[in-house]
Amino acid sequence: MPRKLRQLESELRKAGFYERTDLGKGSHTRWFHPAAPEITVTLSGAASDDAHHYQETAVRRAIGAARRAVGEEANGG
pLDDT at 77 over 70: no
What pLDDT was estimated at residue 73?
A: 67
pLDDT at 74 over 70: no
Q: How far apart are CA 42 and CA 26, in angstroms?
A: 12
Domain that holds residue 32: 5-21+28-67
Mean pLDDT of 8-13: 97
Burial of 41 (0-12, 13-18, 19+ CB in 10 A): buried
Q: Is residue 32 part of a domain?
A: yes
49 assigned to some structural domain? yes
Q: pLDDT for 24-62, tens place per residue?
A: 778 899 999 998 889 999 999 999 999 999 999 999 999
- Write the burial class of residue 53 (CB in 10 Å: 0-12 exposed, 13-18 middle, 19+ buried): exposed
- pTM summary value: 0.88
Residue 63 lies in a domain: yes
Instruction: Please count the structural domains in the chain.
Output: 1
Instruction: Establish if 77 belongs to a structural domain.
Output: no
Contact by Cβ (8 Å): 11, 63: yes
H or E stretch including 19?
strand 18-20
